[in-house]
Structure 1
């Protein structure tokens, strides 16, 4: 568990720090960005959460994070904002490691984001709204991914995603 203001880690428990290979004091008053594989992932996640956290709502997603030693791993992240207007003013997050291997496939960060939302059972329209794309763009990403990995339908794409 971690408490943050404006995406700066203010305090966390020992389990959170250990998950990333740090001591608690190493993470205090540092940006969450140091825990992401790329700054683009940090920015994209922030955009998604900004649109879903206002008003004290609970939001979750699944994403790849990076530990102190460069090891990448999947996490399920739950968050709740304590501020009605600015979702990042004060927020609590819970990070849970997932038993899903990370492979260096040719899937881009945006495709991984869309695939994660597809795996959550969201429709193309819902995904488009959530990530700020058109429904057609989401459909194009899904089709491109299906062709890249050689599957015929969404069920096979999700199975491929979870088998990675």
Structure 2
């Protein structure tokens, strides 16, 4: 004799209330997103739906280059994963881990599902404990991506310029580059 029937799951509600940022894309446009995604990018769901993902990248060049790399992985039926700097709707740059999958690998950007997890500041330890960069390294790197000098980064982060220089040196070594400009290029191509 079969046991009691399990209650039906409201998948729409589960999507909306998931504790990570979720977005469904069609041709690189947001067709739906959940509340965590809207909070992450400091917007409202109704303003994000229908908008191009391009608005969430530091600039058009990085939107295009990331799209090309994602397309190759998605076409190969792989999950695309990337740690990168993105832009909130209020303009603030921050680190995020992105994972995506194409629903149709023959048309990789046609229908996609994306998961976004913040890696900046206080969220870093909770969301990405095994990330290659420490939370403070990400904070300093984000300042450089935003075009700030070491002195401006120090002021914004409440640390000394010498401490920023120490983190800058670590970042240069980790990424195998010789200058802050090269570092920023590598960070944005991530």
Of 136, 148, 161 in structure 1, the residue corresponding to residue 179 of structure 2 is: 148
The residue matched to 2:83 in structure 1 has which SS?
Answer: strand
- Corresponding residue for residue 20 of structure 1: 41
* Mapping 1:5-154, distance limit 5 Å: 5-99=26-120, 100-101=138-139, 102-104=142-144, 145=177, 147-148=178-179
Higher relative contact order (CA 8 A, sep 6+): 1
What is the RMSD of the two structures over their aligned residues, measured on CA atoms? 2.3
Unaligned runs of 5+ in 2: 1-21, 121-137, 148-173
Q: Assess if the C-alpha contact under 8 Å between 1:55 and 1:81 holds in 2.
A: no
The structure whose Rg is larger is 2
Unaligned runs of 5+ in 1: 108-118, 120-141, 150-156
Q: Report the number of matched residues.
A: 116
Q: Assess if the C-alpha contact under 8 Å between 2:93 and 2:146 holds in 1.
A: no
Q: Taking structure 1 as reference, are residues 73 and 53 closer, same or farther at Cα in structure 2, changes over 3 Å only?
A: same
Moved over 3 A (4+): none
Q: Assess if the C-alpha contact under 8 Å between 1:11 and 1:28 holds in 2.
A: yes
Q: Distance in 1 between matches of 2:145 and 2:54?
A: 22
Calculate the TM-score normalised by the size of structure 1: 0.65
Q: Distance in 2 between matches of 1:105 and 1:65?
A: 10
Query: Shift of the alpha carbon at 1:68?
Result: 1.5
The residue matched to 2:25 in structure 1 has which SS?
Answer: strand
Q: Taking structure 1 as reference, are residues 70 and 56 closer, same or farther at Cα in structure 2, changes over 3 Å only?
A: same
